[in-house]
Amino acid sequence: MLKLFLPNEHVKSIFDIQPDYLKLLGIKGVITDLDNTLVAWDVANATQEVIRWLELMREHDIKVTIISNNKEERVTLFSEPLHTPFVFDAKKPLSKAFKKGAKQMGLKKEEVVVIGDQLLTDVLGGNFAGFYTILVVPIVETDAKITRFNRKIERRVLTYMRKKGKISWEE
């Protein structure tokens, strides 16, 4: 059961994930979380660095879809100026939104990576739906109220996995 919380990889930032590497894995599409993955949870618009990363993915024919548990207004205001498909109110970790994202891109789950900053939503949901998962370090240490609760559980899960030798990275 706990292996569903274990990402395939862990990186510091979404910007550490490059298209050449994804292509080596056979990846043609990215499902990414929004808050604390692409930008801080309280930042409304994409930074220039996020815009460049999305453009880099497009230049290498890697599709990107944003999947967020946040409300329609938040996700639409962020995603539409970037011309990036999205799913709001995703109810992660349920797998429906992940499957919807892959379908929107016209890709099989083996061709898609799920990237996010939370074990309990992004990694658990991506793994449960059968996708390759990459956990990133949250952009900021502050979180919305529900996420703060999730982080407490995450710390316990990570501590347990570290003790069992399942992970080697530090928080």
Residue 5: predicted pLDDT: 79
* Full-model pTM: 0.86
Residue 2: predicted pLDDT: 67
The span from the CA of 132 to the CA of 147, in Å, is 23
Beta strands of the chain (E only): which ranges?
9-11, 29-32, 63-67, 86-87, 112-116, 132-136
Would you call 35 helix, strand, or coil by DSSP?
strand
Residue 139: predicted pLDDT: 86
CB 161 within 8 A of CB 5: yes
Q: How many CA atoms does the CB half-sphere of 53 hold within 13 Å?
A: 17
Residue 155: predicted pLDDT: 75
Residue 68: predicted pLDDT: 97
Residue 76: predicted pLDDT: 97
Average pLDDT per consecutive 10 residues, the chain (171 residues; last block may be shorter): 82 96 97 95 92 98 97 96 97 96 96 94 95 91 64 71 68 55
Residue 153: predicted pLDDT: 72
Residue 145: predicted pLDDT: 61
Residue 42: predicted pLDDT: 85
Residue 70: predicted pLDDT: 94
